Structure 1
Amino acid sequence: MDWSRTKSIFIIIFLLINLFLTWQLLDKKSANQIAILNESSIQEILNDNNISIHVELPEIKPSGLHLVGKKKEWTQAMVDVVPLPADNLSFPEPTRLVATLDEPYPISDQNMGQQLRSFVNTYVLNGSAYQFGAFDQDNRRLPLYQQYEGFTTYTYEDDQLVLNFNEKQEIIGYEQSILEFEEHGREHDLMSSLRAIEGLYTDQLLRMNQAVTAIEFGYHSLVHQEGAIQVFAPMWQITVVDEQEGEQNTYLINAIGGEIIQ
């Protein structure tokens, strides 16, 4: 074997690999610089149009997937953990628990949030994993939604946990379904919060002299699906306020495709 010739070939291959890796590194660095410049340009456009952002922009992972949520059937082991008498529990469906209280649980206007959190953490299975939604005054119901890796999952017309109130603003019971989540499909790039805001500006849903007052990343199931399985898409929820016109609008922006839902 000609070792001199073999050695020369290995050296050439090594140099070619180094050149390739160096090119990849420079290409990645260039792409990152372009992204930074583009986001800087977005901020300049917002400033030029007197569009203000009143909240800190959340940071998320650069890539992510859809979620599939499947309702769990209640087992005896799960029921045994619920700190309420068995006579107070019923199961209209294998995946849904309905709990009633012997005595209404009072909630005062002072420190309402803390009182509600205390009730949920005490009387609901895995209560600390739920985030509060908006109170339904007409039906005296407060929905709560499970979290996945610190982000809230919002279901469509099928609340995961609901606290029921009487006319005295006292909790009289609750209904609960528990979802098990799995990541589904291939991984996609996720747009940043600033990119989502740019999408609203491009579609003229965010205009001169308006303000972004709330922005949240979460997972949303927007289509009613029969059965125990729901699909959730990663989305940004952004609230835009026009103080001069006295208007407020909230939009959902798909963090994968950029589609805007009003």
Structure 2
Amino acid sequence: MDWNRTKSIFIFVFLILNIFLYWLYLDRYNEAQSVEILGEKTIEARLKDDNITYGPLPNSNESATYITGEVHIFKNSAPDDNQKVSFTDETHTQISAVFINPVKLRNINDDASLIDFVHTNVKNGDSYALWEVDREERVAVFFQKKNNRIFYYNDSAVLKVHWNMDNEVTNYEQTMIDNIEEMEQQETVIPPLQIFQTLYNKTLLKSDSSIAQVKLGYSTFSKLDKTQVLIPTWEVQVKLSDGEIEEYFVDAIDGKIIEIQGDKQQGEEEDWGVE
């Protein structure tokens, strides 16, 4: 065997292998650098690239705290002589009130008319915020609030007002949470732009859409018999290019996307940091 020839072949093969590995290293390195550069793009830039617009945002240094409350037990008494109240369940946690003489709304096309009616005719009416009006079905939905922060889709904190074809309120149903207390420790909430990052990472923000509303409220964290714990929650409303409105809810403390359907909520762990 010609050992010198064999040695030369091994040296040549290892040289080619080293060149290939070095080329592979450079290729992977350049690819990684490219990914890193793309990853450094801010959420503002990403939204701009996808033509997703938004207006002025809430204070990014806003703080909030968990709150607790108890489901209200109603008494069999009406706010005034023009109302007849009955219970809709055995626990007396929901009432149905019927007006003996229906109450005329000032202007059914003006939301302020509905708000004024609730403040005047419903127990603790000023603790509810107008959420939705369906003029075809002639019903307005109000959600309870605390410090102007709404309790989103909480079946124990909702008011539904009904009116007839003459724009007179005929009846309403009400539930309520009372004895509301804030926990001592204040938490700095996740800034709105990082909430956008959470939704963007999950492809929930679609191109050519507009983020129409960003508000801080509360959603249900847990229920213990008649006691509830509510967590600070970002509400994000997005208007799509076809005019449809989509709404999303994100835990304002730990960044979980919250699926809310009526009073059923499910949390999904999310990475809300900007990549």
* Fold shared by both chains (TM-score > 0.5): yes
Correspondence list, 1:11-160, <5 A: 41-53=42-54, 55-59=55-59, 62-74=62-74, 79=77, 82=79, 84-85=80-81, 88-92=84-88, 93-107=91-105, 111-135=109-133, 140-160=138-158
Shift of 1:199: 1.4
CA RMSD of aligned residues (A): 3.2
Partner of 1:177: 175
What amino acid is aligned across from residue 153 of structure 1 in structure 2? F
Q: Which runs of 5+ in 2 are unaligned?
A: 1-40, 260-275
Measured at CA, do residues 116 and 246 of structure 1 come closer, stay the same or move farther in structure 2, by a change above 3 Å? closer
Cα distance in 2, alignment partners of residues 87 and 202 from structure 1? 51
Measured at CA, do residues 242 and 164 of structure 1 come closer, stay the same or move farther in structure 2, by a change above 3 Å? closer
Cα distance in 2, alignment partners of residues 87 and 163 from structure 1? 13
Cα distance in 1, alignment partners of residues 182 and 97 from structure 2? 31
Partner of 1:17: none
Cα distance in 1, alignment partners of residues 49 and 123 from structure 2? 50
Farther off after superposition, 60-69 or 251-260? 60-69
Q: Is the 8 A contact 1:143 1:159 kept in 2?
A: no
Measured at CA, do residues 167 and 149 of structure 1 come closer, stay the same or move farther in structure 2, by a change above 3 Å? same
Cα distance in 2, alignment partners of residues 138 and 246 from structure 1? 19
Shift of 1:120: 0.9
| Same amino acid, percent of matched pairs | 25
Q: Is the 8 A contact 2:57 2:214 kept in 1?
A: yes
Q: Is the 8 A contact 1:99 1:175 kept in 2?
A: yes
Structure with bigger RCO (C-alpha 8 Å, 6+ apart):
1
What amino acid is aligned across from residue 126 of structure 1 in structure 2? N
Pick one of 214, 236, 246 that aligns with 1:249.
246
Cα distance in 1, alignment partners of residues 182 and 233 from structure 2? 15
Cα distance in 1, alignment partners of residues 257 and 124 from structure 2? 33
The one-character-per-residue Cα deviations of 1:15-36 (angstroms, maximum 9, x if unpaired) are: xxxxxxxxxxxxxxxxxxxxxx
The structure number with the bigger radius of gyration is: 2
The one-character-per-residue Cα deviations of 1:210-260 (angstroms, maximum 9, x if unpaired) are: 22122221111277x5843333221111122331x5554221111112122
Partner of 2:227: 229
Measured at CA, do residues 135 and 110 of structure 1 come closer, stay the same or move farther in structure 2, by a change above 3 Å? closer
Measured at CA, do residues 139 and 71 of structure 1 come closer, stay the same or move farther in structure 2, by a change above 3 Å? farther
Partner of 1:259: 256
The one-character-per-residue Cα deviations of 1:138-182 (angstroms, maximum 9, x if unpaired) are: 864322122111211124344522213335443112222331222
Cα distance in 1, alignment partners of residues 225 and 103 from structure 2? 33
Q: Is the 8 A contact 1:145 1:161 kept in 2?
A: yes
Measured at CA, do residues 251 and 200 of structure 1 come closer, stay the same or move farther in structure 2, by a change above 3 Å? same
Question: What TM-score results when the alignment is normalised by the length of structure 2?
Answer: 0.65
SS in 2 for 1:133: strand
Q: Is the 8 A contact 2:157 2:176 kept in 1?
A: no
What amino acid is aligned across from residue 46 of structure 2 in structure 1? I
Runs of 4+ in structure 1 deviating by more than 6 angstroms, as ranges, are none
SS in 2 for 1:257: coil
Question: What TM-score results when the alignment is normalised by the length of structure 1?
Answer: 0.68
Q: Matched residue pairs, number?
A: 216
Partner of 2:236: 238
What amino acid is aligned across from residue 247 of structure 2 in structure 1? T
Measured at CA, do residues 141 and 221 of structure 1 come closer, stay the same or move farther in structure 2, by a change above 3 Å? farther
